[in-house]
Amino acid sequence: MKFLKILAFTFSFHMIGKLNRYTKLVWSIEELVASKSKLLKEMNLGYVAAVIVTLVAIPKFNEFGGLRFEQLLFFMALPFTLTKTGGISKFTPLFLLSTVLLVVFYMTHVYSILFFGVCCALLSSLVVTNYRPTLLSLLLSIICTPAVKYFLSIYSFPLRLKVSQLAGNMLMPITSNLTVQGNCIFLNDIEFTVAPECLGLNMIASALVFAIFTLSFFAGKYNKRPRMSLVIGALLLALTLVLIANLTRIILTVLLQAMPETLIHETIGLLIFVVNCCIPLLFIGIYGKVFYKRQKIVRVKFGQQHYLSLAIAPLLIIGSYDIHENSFKTAFDSSSVFISGFERSESTDGVIKLENDSALVYIKPPAFMLGSDHNPFICWRASGFNIKKEAELQIGVHYVYSFELHKPNEQPLYSCWWYSNGGSHTISQWQWRLANIKGEDAYSVINVTSADKSKSLEWTEKMLSQNLFNPKYQSQYGH
């Protein structure tokens, strides 16, 4: 009987132990579910923060004319660069970079700094989610920053001259009555102008973004990450393919006499992009598997401070709504600029207009070293003129840019422009920007225009020979 009691107690304790372990297991499962639910909620905070950053940035983007083609490409291609395995796992570097950039924007009011700062804030928000950004995501944001296209457009002019001449040299053996003048090709008296659009600046952005997209797509398919050598090689190949594609497009446009804004003109551009750029880059992704490496899965636990930090970027962007100008304005005494024989006026933004019977001169205030250069093409195009026959012209020991302005049913205007600080004249972007950095006298854009080509060159030569910003020279200009 005693033995049966002991056995019963033993069995009871054994069952209680099992029940206790079962209860602990239930509690553990409940804790795990609660922890998982909490983790998912915290991850969702990252997505919410990313959406908020984008939404609050839109009004500021609109202040600069809205999202351009390459910025739209960033938002379209970004999801393909995210990954669930590996990726950027450190929150702090991207967070600090976005914060610094947005603070710098308060002082400089430069669109490229704002856009890149917003991109870094967006990527830092995604770091705490289960779809993390990669180095390709960061590279994509750099490629789509407005500054990249801006600098490409700056240096597109000498490139357009070379491409025009090369296309002309290739066409001459198979065509007759063909001549090349600057960035214009004439075939049987029909003019084809190699404008910045014809050089395919949008095609360059599209090709680079497509290269990133291709690498990201196959990285997801192989569940690996591309090596840096493959990334650099793909981007260099994309640039080379774009140059070849544009040369091919110019040749076909001239041969087929496909005028701008016609269906055949646009069709040639699209087909050339697909055949010359997209297909070769796809082959790189397909046959470049050996250049991909396995990515280690890194699990990081983010603290409460990381999630609270997500609110800083939206607040900084909202705070910039009242920032509308650069606080590093270069000193410029516009009152000293006056030329005898010219009627003078000044716009609210500091642009000086000097006009007489034979010439029109615009002198723009010095630009910030990290900003745009107040290129006269922007204003002339906004006034409805078409830019033609761009060329680099030597007048005495100085170089200037020359071009023609055309408007329907009106006589053409002839124009020259350059950068000047009074004592020095240049057409080099680097020279005036470096001078700004060194603290030297700032450079302004000077633009001389006339209905008479000879007068345009005559006034350009006179103004290059003197210091426009020094009052003692002003009386030397006559009618």
pLDDT score recorded for residue 21: 42
The span from the CA of 356 to the CA of 479, in Å, is 8
DSSP readout, 191-210?
EEE--HHHHTHHHHHHHHHH
Quick check: 93 pLDDT over 60? yes
DSSP readout, 389-444?
EEEEEEETTEEEEEEEEE-TTS--EEEEEEEE-SS-EE--HHHHHHHHHHTPPPPE
CA distances from 198 to 176, 243, 331 (A): 23, 11, 38
The larger pLDDT score, comparing residue 223 to residue 23, is at: 223
339 contacts: CB under 8 Å, gap ≥ 6: 354, 361, 468, 474, 477
pLDDT score recorded for residue 372: 66
The span from the CA of 48 to the CA of 382, in Å, is 39
Residue among 197, 195, 194 nearest 180 (CA): 194
Q: Summarize the confidence of residues 81-107 as an average pLDDT.
A: 88
Quick check: 258 pLDDT over 60? yes
Q: Which amino acid is at 102?
A: L
pLDDT score recorded for residue 8: 41
Other C-beta atoms lying within 10 Å of the C-beta of residue 224? 17
Q: What is the tens place of the pLDDT at every residue in 451-479?
A: 999 999 999 998 888 777 765 554 444 44
For β-strands 360-363 and 386-395, DSSP reports them as unpaired
The span from the CA of 168 to the CA of 251, in Å, is 8
Q: Which amino acid is at 177?
A: N
- Looking from the CA of 187 toward its CB, the CA atoms found within 13 Å total 23
The span from the CA of 139 to the CA of 104, in Å, is 21
Quick check: 151 pLDDT over 90? no
DSSP 8-state secondary structure symbol assigned to residue 12:
H
Phi, psi of 248 (to 5 degrees): -65, -40
Phi, psi of 389 (to 5 degrees): 50, 50
Q: Summarize the confidence of residues 339-346 as an average pLDDT.
A: 82
Quick check: 1 pLDDT over 90? no
Q: What is the tens place of the pLDDT at every residue in 400-451?
A: 989 889 888 889 999 999 888 877 888 887 787 877 777 777 788 899 999 9
| Alpha helices for 256-402 (secondary structure H) | 263-273, 279-287, 304-309, 312-319, 376-382
Q: Which amino acid is at 465?
A: S
pLDDT score recorded for residue 294: 80
Instruction: Lowest mean pLDDT of 257-261, 289-293, 463-467, name the range.
Output: 257-261
Quick check: 20 pLDDT over 70? no
DSSP 8-state secondary structure symbol assigned to residue 466:
S
Q: What is the tens place of the pLDDT at every residue in 210-231?
A: 999 999 988 888 888 888 889 9
The two structure tokens encoding residue 33: 């579910």
Q: How far apart are the first and last CA of the chain?
A: 134
The span from the CA of 76 to the CA of 270, in Å, is 19
